[in-house]
Amino acid sequence: MQKSRNIKESRRPLILAIVIFLIFITLTGISWLSKNNDNSDNSRILYQGTQTRYNEISIGLVNVQDDSARLSIHKDGDTGEPFKKEISAGDKFDIYGYEIEVRSVKDAFDLFSIIGATGTSKDYIKFDIKRK
């Protein structure tokens, strides 16, 4: 009885050290992610099949395939068809008085891609937008 009690007590520092280590790793990861996640008003992450607004324009991510993506951009009050643009990482273009710079295009792996389906909601682009 006394021997098993000593074994349990001798494991407590090890368990405590493991818990402290896991908390440290978690906090370090959160800190790293927050530093590497550009949350400025001009930066956006846009997932396929969604849209974002910036002032009077709406930007939708229509499709991502390999290293390119297709955007649909519409300005409030414009009755014509939305502006469509094929983009890749590093592209910079002007539209409706704004400059858009594409930082990255991510075609995320998905099990459906194995059977030939493209375009999942995990695909996304990162871009910066600012008024010219």
Q: Is the pLDDT of residue 78 over 70?
A: yes
Any idea where the domains of the chain sit in the sequence?
1-37, 43-131
**Cβ distance 92 to 99 under 8 Å?**
yes
Between 120 and 75, residue with greater pLDDT = 75
**Cβ distance 119 to 107 under 8 Å?**
no
Q: Which residues are 54's β-sheet partners?
A: 57
Q: What is the pLDDT of residues 19-30, one digit of tens each?
A: 888 887 777 766
Q: How many CA atoms lie within 13 A of 2 on its CB side?
A: 0
Q: Is the pLDDT of residue 124 over 50?
A: yes
Q: How many CA atoms lie within 13 A of 80 on its CB side?
A: 5
When the pLDDT of each residue in the chain is averaged and rounded to a whole number, the result is 81
Q: Where are the alpha helices (DSSP H) in 43-120?
A: 111-114
Q: Is the pLDDT of residue 130 over 90?
A: yes
